[in-house]
Chains A and B, each alone.
Chain A
Amino acid sequence: AQTVTQSQPEMSVQEAETVTLSCTYDTSESDYYLFWYKQPPSRQMILVIRQEAYKQQNATENRFSVNFQKAAKSFSLKISDSQLGDAAMYFCAYRSTNDYKLSFGAGTTVTVRA
Chain B
Amino acid sequence: ETGVTQSPTHLIKTRGQQVTLRCSSQSGHNTVSWYQQALGQGPQFIFQYYREEENGRGNFPPRFSGLQFPNYSSELNVNALELDDSALYLCASSRGLAGTDTQYFGPGTRLTVL
Convert A82-114 into 0s and 1s, putting 1 for each residue whose CB lies closer than 8 angstroms to a CB of B. Answer: 000000000101010101111111110000000
- With the chains together, A25 CA to B44 CA distance in Å? 16
Contact B90–A45 (Cβ < 8 Å): yes
- Interface positions, chain B 45-65, Cβ under 8 Å from A, are 45, 48, 50, 55-56, 58
| Number of B interface residues in the complex (CB < 8 A) | 29
Contact B33–A44 (Cβ < 8 Å): no
The one of B4, B97, B102, B108 that contacts A47, using a Cβ cutoff of 8 Å:
B102
Q: A45-B90, A99-B56, A100-B56 are in contact. Are A52 and B41 (CB under 8 A)?
A: no
Interface flag for B84 (CB, 8 Å):
no
Residues of A within 8 A of B31 (CB): 100
- With the chains together, A109 CA to B90 CA distance in Å? 19
Contact B107–A102 (Cβ < 8 Å): no
Residues of B within 8 A of A91 (CB): 42-43
- With the chains together, A106 CA to B43 CA distance in Å? 8
- With the chains together, A91 CA to B90 CA distance in Å? 14
- With the chains together, A52 CA to B97 CA distance in Å? 15
Contact A101–B33 (Cβ < 8 Å): yes
Interface flag for B66 (CB, 8 Å):
no
Residues of B within 8 A of A102 (CB): 33, 35, 43, 45, 92, 103
Closest to A50 in B: B102
Residues of B within 8 A of A105 (CB): 42
Contact B99–A107 (Cβ < 8 Å): no
Interface flag for B2 (CB, 8 Å):
yes
- With the chains together, A46 CA to B55 CA distance in Å? 23
Contact A104–B43 (Cβ < 8 Å): yes
The one of B2, B97, B102 that contacts A100, using a Cβ cutoff of 8 Å:
B97
Q: A44-B1, A46-B2, A47-B102 are in contact. Are A101 and B45 (CB under 8 A)?
A: yes
> What is the interface of chain B, defined by CB distance below 8 A to chain A?
1-2, 4, 31, 33, 35, 40-45, 48, 50, 55-56, 58, 90, 92, 97, 99-100, 102-108
